Amino acid sequence: MLAFAKEAGMGKTDECAIALPNVAIAAFELLLRFLYFGVREESFSASSEDWVALLSIATSFQFQEVRERALAELESLHLDAVQRIVLAREYDIARWLAPAYIDVCVRERSVVPDEAQRLGATVTAHIAEVREKVLLGMLIEAQKPPFTDSFGKWKLKTPTRDLHHVEQLVDEVLWPDSFPVPRKAS
């Protein structure tokens, strides 16, 4: 929690300014603009970078309503899964983690180097492990012998990604010693 100095005269002049360590001027100006114009205005216009900056400063200052508004706005922007993971870990947004991990684990392409750098080696390795287990399961399923349908026609089993199974794997690999992370209601 941020504690402001209570010394006499603090904050009344530039020479006696209240220091806000680790707060960028642009982020603080954005917060002031939001508090003045945006608290009640649904039409408050900001870029995704601005909403992330508001999320950061609101989290630092423990401004819960500003934080929730920034989260809602960011959720409406449909950020990519890697960005959601990075933000969720940085700003303690538990409800974003499992769905974002699942999205990365079931998408067509693997984690690329830029994403791996943003996620970190451990998280990237966990995602690779889940993806490998999912793909191995699909390979085993694809190797099952053909079967006949109700009309007597031969059919091959088409492997699919079972989302419930992927959820279980994400929980096992990413949180092996804890309860599953809460998921956003679908």
Residues 51, 105 within the same domain: no
CA distance linking residue 115 with residue 81, whole number of Å: 10
Domain limit, last residue, from 78, 103, 122: 78
Per-residue pLDDT of the chain (186 residues; tens, 9 = 90+): 445 556 667 778 888 877 777 888 888 888 988 888 876 667 778 889 999 999 999 999 999 999 999 999 999 998 999 999 999 999 999 999 999 999 999 998 999 999 999 999 999 999 999 999 988 888 888 888 888 888 888 887 776 778 888 888 998 898 887 755 555 544
Q: What spatial distance separates the first Cα and last Cα of the chain, rounded to whole Å?
A: 33
**Residue 62 pLDDT:** 92
**Residue 6 pLDDT:** 60
The CA-atom distances, in angstroms, between 143 and each of 98, 139, 146, 161, 165 are: 30, 6, 9, 15, 19
Q: What domain range includes position 155?
A: 95-186
For the entire predicted model, the pTM comes to 0.77
Helix 163-174 and helix 121-142: axis angle, to 10°?
140
Residues 73, 118 within the same domain: no
**Residue 185 pLDDT:** 46
Residues 72, 102 within the same domain: no
**Residue 15 pLDDT:** 82
**Residue 186 pLDDT:** 41
Q: What is the pLDDT of residues 126-135, one digit of tens each?
A: 999 999 998 8
Q: Domains in the chain: how many in total?
A: 2
Domain limit, last residue, from 78, 106, 129: 78
CA distance linking residue 81 with residue 96, whole number of Å: 9
**Residue 5 pLDDT:** 53
CA atoms within 13 A on the CB side of 85: 23
Domain limit, last residue, from 47, 78, 109: 78
Could you tell me if residue 10 is inside a domain? yes
Asked whether 9 and 35 are in contact (CB, 8 A), the reply is no
